[in-house]
Amino acid sequence: MTEISRERWAVIARHLDAALDLPAGERAAWLASIAAQDEALAADLRRMLDEHEALERERFLEDELTAIRPDGPSPLAGTVLGAYTLFSEIGRGGMGTVWLARRTDGRFEGTAAIKLLNIALVGRAGEERFTREGNILASLTHPNIAHLVDAGVSATGQPYLVLEHVDGERIDRYCDARALDVEARLRLVLDVLDAVAHAHANLIVHRDIKPSNVLVRTDGRVKLLDFGIAKLLQPEAEPAPTVLTGEGATALTPEYAAPEQVTGGAITTATDVYALGVLIYVLLAGQHPAGEGLRSAADLVRSIVDRDPPPPSDVVTSPNTSVEVRAAAAVNRATTPDRLRLTLRGDLDTIVAKALKKDPAERYASVTALADDLRRYLRHEPISARPDTLRYRASRFVRRNRTAVALASIALLATIAGAVGTLVYAHSARAQRDFALRQLARADAINDLNTFVLMDAAPAGSTFTVNELLARARHIVERQHGEDEATRVNTLIAIGRQYWAQDEDAEAIEVLTEAHRLAQTLDDASMRARAQCALASALARTDAIRRAEPMVQAGLAVLPTTPEYLADRIFCLKCGTEIAQNRGAGDEAVARAEQALDLLRSAPFSSDIMELRLRMDVAESYRVAGNFPKAAAAFERAAGLLKALGRDDTQTAGTLFNNWALTLDLMGRPRDAEPIYRRGIEVSKADATERAVSPMLLLNYARVLENLGRPNEASDYAVRAYRKAAASHDEVIVTQALLMRNTIDRVRGDLAQSTADLDEVEPILRKKFPTDHPAIFAIVSGRALLAAARGDERGAMQLADQAVASLERTSPGSQRLALSLRLRADIELQFGRLDAAEADARKALDLLERATPPGLLTARVGKTALTLGRALAGQHRSAEARRALTLALTHLRDADGPDHPDVRQAASLLSSLQ
C-alpha cells in the first residue's frame, strides 16, 4: 500500500468517489460490475470499502485529536537520579521540566527540585562540560541564591540539575499580593542585588533574571533561581545565541533581555544590570518598560534596541496606560496613582533609566553601584546617577510624549467623537530642545483645550453634539491670543479635520482656510505643509476639487525629507490619499496610502490610531480602485484592529462599517452588506435619534435595500439622507441621493419623478466630474433605463451604446463595463432583440467571471446570468437557458437571499422550462 503509484491511486480514487456516493447497499452490485472488467481493482476497492465501513464505526480520526495534555500521571515519577527519586512534576519551562524529588539514598533527609533539561539544549557532546560547569555553579553559595546542589547526566543521557527546592512566590506577585509600598519593594530588590553582586564577584553572570526566577518564600526571604544556567546550556563552540534565533529562543526570555542579548553582543555583568533594571521597573511601575500588553517578538526587539522607555513615574498616570492597570498599580503599592507618580519621579526615574541604558558602558558599572544608589535613595541622600542632559532629554521628551501628544489631541476628537486625530511628531536625534518644547506646548494646548471644552465650558449634566463641542472649541481658539501662532494653527487643523470627519465640509474649509492663512505667515514647514494638505483634502470634497491635487503636492514639496518631518509627510500622504479617492484615482490612492503605511512602519514612533486610519485608507482606496475583494479583506482586517484597540463603538467604527459594507455591496454581496450597514448606523447613533448618523451612511443603506429588492424601505432612507444632506448643504450626498431616488422612482414606476431627479442632478455632476467618472456613467445609464421604461427604443439604445462605448474606451475589462453591457442586454431584451441581448449578456458574464474570484457568489453574476437565461429562453433554447438560470439562482440566492425578486423571477422561469 505504501508503494502505491500516483497513477494507481488516481484510478482507485476515481472509483472510490463513485462508490462513496452510492448507498452502502448498492456497493456490492457496483463492485461486481467492476470485477467483471478488472478483478484486481475490484479486490482493492472491496478491501477499502470494507475498511471504510469499519473506520466509520470506530470514528477513525474523527475526533481523536481533541487535546494533547502534558499533565496527567507521568511515567517519570519514581525514577531515581543519583541520590534522588522523582516525586511529582512541579513546573515546566523553556528548558525542561522541574520535579520535586526526595533524597532516597538514606544518608540525608530532604527534598530538592530537579530540573530535567531538554536533551536538545545540551547535546551529547556538551555533557562533560555540562557536568564540569555545573560543579562550578554548585560552589556558589549565598543566602539569597537557590543553591545548585549537583549537575549530572543520567545513564540514559538525560541531563539534570539538582537544585535547592524553594517554596515561594514570584517577587512581583508576592509584592502585589501584600500591597507592598515602594520602599518595601526596594528592600526586597536590595536582597536580589546582593545575591547578584555575590555571583558577579565569582565571575558568574545570571543572564536570565526575571520575576519568575526571583522567588520570595513565606518567611520573606528572597531566593534567586537558575543562576548561570542559561550559560550552562549554551554550547561552548558556538557564538552566543541571540534571543530570537534558533533553539536558544526558548531558553531566554525576550521580555527581560538586554539589547546586547538581542543583537548578539558580549554578555557581561552589565547584562544582569539591565535585567535588574527591567525587574525594578516592573516592580515600581507595574508594567514592562516596553509598555502594557503583549507584543510581537519583532516589536519587542525594536523596543529593546531602539526605544528609551518612559520614566516609571510617567507610565503610572499616563493615559497611555489603561485605567485598570494604573489603578491596580497604585492599589498594589498602597497608594494612589498621583502619589505613586510623585514617589517615583526624580531619583527613582533616574536610577532606573541608568540601569536601562542601551549601551552597556553607560549603565551602572556594577550591581553594587546600583544597590548603593537605591540605598542612598532610601536614606534620602543624593544619588550618584545624574539625570540626562537637557539636550538629551529634550529629544527623548518628545519621543516619550509622542503617544501622549497623540492621545491628548484625540481625547476630544477620538474618544468622544472618534475622528481624525492630529498626527504625532517624529524626532531625530538632532532634534533641538526648542523644537521639542514647542511640540510639547502644542500638545498641551490641545490637551488644555479639550479639558476646557469638556469640563469647564460644558455645564455639568448637559449633553452636546460633536458639532456643538467643536463650535465651542473654535470659539475658544479664536479668542485665545498670546500663545504661539503655530500652536493655534495646529489646534485649528485638529478642529478642521474633525469637522471634515463629521462631513461638515463648509465649517471644515472655513477653519482650515484660517489655519492655512495663519500658517503662511509662519516660518514653520511642518505647520505650513499640514495646513495646506488638510485644506486641500477638504476642498477635494467640493467644487474646488481641481485645486486639491496641486495643493497637496505643493504641501509635500514644502516638507524637508529629514526624519523629524516624517509624521508631517505621513499626514500629507493621508490627505493626498483622500484627494486621490475623491478624484476617483483609486490606484494612486492605494499607492499613497501604502506609502504612508510604509513610512509609519519605518518611523521611530508608533501610533495604533494612525495605523488604523491608514489601514482604513488602504481599504477605501482599493474600493475606489474597484478591487473589491482586496478592499473587503482590508476592511475586515481594519475592523479586527479596531476591535483590538477597543474602538469598535466609536465614530471611526461607524465610518469603517459604512465603507466595508459599501465594498461588499459593490462586490455584489448586498446580503452581507446590509447587517454591517445596520451596525454602522447603530454605532453612529449615539442616542435614540439619527441626528449623529452621517447622511452618507443613510444613503448607502438605502442603496443596499434597493439592491435587496426592498424599494419602499430604500426610498424612506434615501429621503432621510437627502434631507440631512440638504440641511447641511452637502452637495455630494445631495447628488448621490438624487441619483438613488431616480433609480427607486423608476423601479416603482414613477417615471416623471425619476426624470425630474436626473434633470436636477445632471448639470451639477457634469460640472464637477470628467466624462469618464462613475457619476457620469450613472447619469447615462439612468437616462437609458428611463428611456427604455418609457418605451423609447431608439433613445434607450443610443444611450446604452454610449455608456458601453465610453467604458470600452476608458476601462476595458472592468466590472463597470460588464454592468453597462448587462443594462444594454436588459434593454435589448425588452425590445425583443434577443440575439444582441444574448451576446451582451455573454460578454458581460465572461468579464465578470474573469474578475470574480472562484467561490465568490455575487449578485452581479447572478443578475447577468438571469438576463442571459431570459434571452436564451426567449429563443426557446431551453437547455442552455436552464443552465444559465441555474447559475443565476446559485449566485442570487446566496448574494441576495432567497426572497429577492430576482430569485423569484429566475426560479419561476426555470420551473416553466422544466
Partner 1 sequence: MDRTFASLAASAQSGDPAAAEALFSLLYAELHRLAKRELGRQQGQQQEHITLGATTLLHEAYMDMSERDGTTFPDRARFMGYAARVMRGLIIEHARHRRALKRGGGFEITSLQTDAEAAVVDAPALSRLSDALDELAALDTTLANIVDLKFFCGFSFAEIAAMQGVSVRTVQRNWEKARIYLHQALRADML
The residue (of 179 and 727) whose beta carbon lies closer to partner 1 is 179
Q: Of these residues, 208, 347, 503, 896, which one is catalytic?
A: 208
The residue (of 1 and 879) whose beta carbon lies closer to partner 1 is 1
Binding positions for partner 1, 835-894, rule CB under 8 A = 854-855
The residue (of 70 and 106) whose beta carbon lies closer to partner 1 is 70
Site for partner 1 (CB under 8 A): which residue of 111, 212, 336, 890? 212
Site for partner 1 (CB under 8 A): which residue of 4, 365, 506, 727? 4
- Give 825's DSSP letter: H
118 touching partner 1, by CB under 8 A = yes
Measured distance CA(730)–CA(738) in Å, rounded: 12
How far are the Cα atoms of 236, 275, 765 from residue 249, in angstroms, in the given order?
Answer: 17, 17, 61
6 touching partner 1, by CB under 8 A = yes
Q: Is residue 663 a contact partner of residue 635, using CB atoms and an 8 Å limit? A: yes
C-alpha cell at 664: 461588499
Shortest reach from residue 5's CB to partner 1, in Å: 8
13 touching partner 1, by CB under 8 A = yes
The residue (of 295 and 433) whose beta carbon lies closer to partner 1 is 295
Shortest reach from residue 198's CB to partner 1, in Å: 24
Q: Which residues of 533-545 are buried (b: 16+ CB within 10 A; e: fewer)?
A: bbbbbbbbbbeeb
Tell me the β-bridge partners of 163.
113, 148
The contact mask relative to partner 1 for 579-618 (x = CB under 8 A, - = no) is: ---------------x--xx----------------x--x
The residue (of 213 and 864) whose beta carbon lies closer to partner 1 is 213
The residue (of 210 and 488) whose beta carbon lies closer to partner 1 is 210
Q: 3-state class of 869 per DSSP? A: helix
Q: Is residue 209 a contact partner of residue 275, using CB atoms and an 8 Å limit? A: yes
Which ranges constitute the DSSP H helices of 112-179?
119-122, 127-138, 171-177
Binding positions for partner 1, 19-48, rule CB under 8 A = 20-21, 48
472 touching partner 1, by CB under 8 A = no
Shortest reach from residue 640's CB to partner 1, in Å: 6
- Give 456's DSSP letter: I
Binding positions for partner 1, 78-107, rule CB under 8 A = 91-94, 96-97
Neighbour count for residue 899 (Cβ, 10 Å): 11
Shortest reach from residue 244's CB to partner 1, in Å: 9
Site for partner 1 (CB under 8 A): which residue of 51, 105, 456, 835? 51
Q: Is residue 205 a contact partner of residue 228, using CB atoms and an 8 Å limit? A: yes
Q: 3-state class of 97 per DSSP? A: strand
Site for partner 1 (CB under 8 A): which residue of 26, 32, 43, 60? 60
Of 720, 717, 759, which Cα lies nearest the Cα of 739?
759
- Give 455's DSSP letter: I
Site for partner 1 (CB under 8 A): which residue of 29, 36, 65, 361? 65
434 touching partner 1, by CB under 8 A = no
The residue (of 38 and 51) whose beta carbon lies closer to partner 1 is 51
Judged by CB under 8 A, which stretch of 3-11, 104-112, 259-267, 388-396 contacts partner 1? Answer: 3-11
The residue (of 287 and 700) whose beta carbon lies closer to partner 1 is 287
Q: Is residue 652 a contact partner of residue 689, using CB atoms and an 8 Å limit? A: no
Shortest reach from residue 168's CB to partner 1, in Å: 13
Write down the residue that cell numbers 475658544 correspond to.
476
Shortest reach from residue 74's CB to partner 1, in Å: 9
The residue (of 600 and 702) whose beta carbon lies closer to partner 1 is 600
The residue (of 166 and 525) whose beta carbon lies closer to partner 1 is 166
Quick check: is 181 catalytic?
no
Shortest reach from residue 92's CB to partner 1, in Å: 4
The contact mask relative to partner 1 for 285-324 (x = CB under 8 A, - = no) is: ---------x-xxx--------------------------
Shortest reach from residue 356's CB to partner 1, in Å: 22
Binding residues for partner 1, how many (CB under 8 A)?
Answer: 55
What's the residue count for the chain? 914
Judged by CB under 8 A, which stretch of 15-23, 191-199, 757-765, 788-796 contacts partner 1? Answer: 15-23
Of 307, 252, 313, which Cα lies nearest the Cα of 281?
313
The residue (of 188 and 614) whose beta carbon lies closer to partner 1 is 614
Which ranges constitute the DSSP H helices of 108-247?
119-122, 127-138, 171-177, 182-201, 229-232
How far are the Cα atoms of 259, 289, 299, 430 from residue 302, in angstroms, in the given order?
Answer: 9, 12, 5, 20
- What strand order describes the sheet that includes 84-93? 80-81, 84-93, 96-103, 111-117, 159-163, 148-153
Site for partner 1 (CB under 8 A): which residue of 35, 41, 52, 187? 52
Shortest reach from residue 856's CB to partner 1, in Å: 9
Shortest reach from residue 1's CB to partner 1, in Å: 4
Q: 3-state class of 148 per DSSP? A: strand
Shortest reach from residue 12's CB to partner 1, in Å: 8
Shortest reach from residue 853's CB to partner 1, in Å: 9
The contact mask relative to partner 1 for 783-822 (x = CB under 8 A, - = no) is: ----------------------------------------
The contact mask relative to partner 1 for 223-262 (x = CB under 8 A, - = no) is: ---------------------------x--x---------
Q: 3-state class of 841 per DSSP? A: helix
156 touching partner 1, by CB under 8 A = no
- Torsion of Cα atoms, 45 then 46 then 52 then 53, to 10°: 160
Q: Is residue 106 a contact partner of residue 98, using CB atoms and an 8 Å limit? A: no
Measured distance CA(586)–CA(591) in Å, rounded: 9
Q: Long-range contact list for 625-631, CB < 8 A, 24+ apart?
A: 625/586, 625/587, 625/589, 625/590, 626/586, 626/814, 626/815, 626/816, 627/586, 627/590, 628/663, 628/664, 628/666, 628/667, 629/667, 629/853, 629/856, 631/663, 631/667
Binding positions for partner 1, 626-655, rule CB under 8 A = 629-630, 633-634, 637, 640-641
The residue (of 66 and 462) whose beta carbon lies closer to partner 1 is 66
Of 607, 606, 631, 629, which Cα lies nearest the Cα of 618?
631
392 touching partner 1, by CB under 8 A = no
Shortest reach from residue 36's CB to partner 1, in Å: 23
Judged by CB under 8 A, which stretch of 59-67, 306-314, 691-699, 822-830 contacts partner 1? Answer: 59-67
**Which residues are within 8 A (CB) of 477 and not within 5 positions of it... i.e. 6 or more apart?**
449, 488, 491, 492, 495
The residue (of 334 and 857) whose beta carbon lies closer to partner 1 is 857
Which ranges constitute the DSSP H helices of 2-38?
6-20, 27-37
Measured distance CA(831)–CA(828) in Å, rounded: 5
Q: 3-state class of 286 per DSSP? A: coil
Q: Which residues are catalytic?
A: 208
Residues contributing to the site for partner 1 (CB under 8 A)? 1-2, 4, 6, 9, 13, 16-17, 20-21, 48, 51-52, 55, 60-61, 63-72, 91-94, 96-97, 118, 120, 212, 250, 253, 294, 296-298, 594, 597-598, 615, 618, 629-630, 633-634, 637, 640-641, 854-855
